[in-house]
Chain A
Amino acid sequence: QKEVEQNSGPLSVPEGAIASLNCTYSDRVSQSFFWYRQYSGKSPELIMSIYSNGDKEDGRFTAQLNKASQYVSLLIRDSQPSDSATYLCAVRGNQGGKLIFGQGTELSVKP
């Protein structure tokens, strides 16, 4: 089992719709969770971090964390073509340490 797993994708949504991206992780003691966006040929940029159970909203983005289910998700409301990118889920264990990424989900927002 991979440490961090994401939807295989690609995920295609129409402009204005909600895009839902999912991620599961295997290490129960993981404490920090991150979503990065990566455009083709570029380096990842951080868009959301979440550390406690529940929802965290930032503009059109909402991160959701459920530690009991070892599940973290990212919702993008009112999706725009500029949101088309690969979204990477990352998890860090307790006491800091290594930061592990999932394989990424490619999102395509169609005008």
Chain B
Amino acid sequence: DGGITQSPKYLFRKEGQNVTLSCEQNLNHDAMYWYRQDPGQGLRLIYYSQIVNDFQKGDIAEGYSVSREKKESFPLTVTSAQKNPTAFYLCASSFQSMNTEAFFGQGTRLTVV
């Protein structure tokens, strides 16, 4: 099946630990995105990548890091520097050209205790 897979669906971590969220797509999409959603809020852009080995900061990149070594994969690391990491994390992907649609994975709900 073609699609975007995020894993795990639920993740619990102790405060001060780094954690990596996985996002894989087999749609041959060029661009990939990470968003954070807090309860009752919209999606805020953390990082995005338009091509392998290149990525750009979004509006709330502090405390997060990413890599894009393969076209299919765009993992997000939530570092201990992120002050309030508990949230719903969403990965999306799209083709690079302008008028193309983005599709989402099922999300990872991270809880830091």
Contact = CB atoms under 8 A, between A and B. Distances in A.
Interface residues of B, number: 27
Contacts, number: 63
Given A43-B106, A46-B102, A101 B35 contact: yes
A100 to B, nearest CB: 6
Interface string A78-111: 0000000000101010111111111110000000
Interface in B55-86: 56, 58
A32 B98 contact: yes
Interface string A3-18: 0001000000000000
B46 to A, nearest CB: 11
B92 A99 contact: yes
B104 A44 contact: yes
Interface of A: 6, 31-32, 34, 42-46, 49, 51, 88, 90, 92, 94-104
Interface of B: 31, 33, 35, 41-45, 48, 50, 56, 58, 90, 92, 94, 96-107
